Structure 1
């Protein structure tokens, strides 16, 4: 069974929630960007939690045959980015999320109800 981009994004949202990610936001950016269809943004309270969220997300999506194109930031775990092409997952520590404020940067995006 092939999952739609939205189903993949919702699967990733469930995966980050499994590891108690805070302030989970799914942005539909396909109408305003050629970068991706969705951005999933969430917060972990420590580098250990940020890494656990990233690892769980990668594992859960791989179970459905969805492999990442690349991952950045894992070693320092202040901001881990996992690129799936149609979905980009951003896992931040709180201060980094506030600093980069992707929700404001992509303010024209539609927020998807989770």
Structure 2
């Protein structure tokens, strides 16, 4: 059984809220087939404790606006690994060092992921892609990577700014 529609929507809202506060490596793991207590984990990283706290605050605020409140919060005082339990969705906001050390993606690698693409990536105006950019397709993403970030084309000789050509 996969995550419920409500859990998927809550996870996507939480992931977008985290991304809007500049969280890195945002991922959603569907753990519904492995755990009876929740449907999905949202994983997000930040480079420092202040950023972790900002992400946590934004996730809570955004989900409250949609009538979803956490039943439990852990780790807020240290702000190194904060866990927000929304019952069907558990949000883990980790300092980058904890994220690398505990490697939750590795622990849950047998579980499917729920695709998440930041709809408001830095430099992107609200409501869409930046002018002159194409929307990435599935072919633009490295399938061997857990990171859904689109691949960037390597510049050809002469394509680099200031290049004069061969």
Q: 2:42 aligns with which of 40, 43, 55?
A: 40
TM-score (norm 1): 0.95
Q: Deviations over 1:54-75 (max 9, x none)?
A: 0000000000110000100011
Tell me what 1:87 maps to. 89
Separation in 1 of the partners of 2:114 and 2:8?
9
Structure with the bigger RCO (C-alpha within 8 Å, sep 6+) is 1
> How far apart in 2 are the matches of 1:104 and 1:17?
21
Quick one: distance in 1 between partners of 2:29 and 2:111?
6
State how many pairs are aligned. Answer: 112
Where does structure 1 lack aligned partners over 5 or more consecutive residues?
Answer: none
Please provide the CA RMSD for this pair.
1.0
- In structure 2, the gaps of 5 or more residues are 117-166
Runs of 4+ in 1 over 3 A off after TM superposition: none
| CA deviation map 1:79-107 (0-9, x unaligned) | 00000010000000111111111111111
Q: After TM superposition, list the pairs within 5 Å mapping 1:98-109 onto structure 2.
A: 98-109=100-111
Distance in 2 separating the partners of 1:37 and 1:52: 25
Asked if the contact 1:41–1:89 (Cα under 8 Å) also holds between the matched residues in 2, the reply is: yes
Question: Could you say which residue in structure 2 is the equivalent of 1:69?
Answer: 71
More strand by share: 1
Which of 109, 112, 116 matches 1:110?
Answer: 112
Which structure: larger Rg? 2
Structure with bigger helix share is 1
- How far apart are 1:32 and its partner, in Å? 1.5
Match of 2:61 in 1: 59
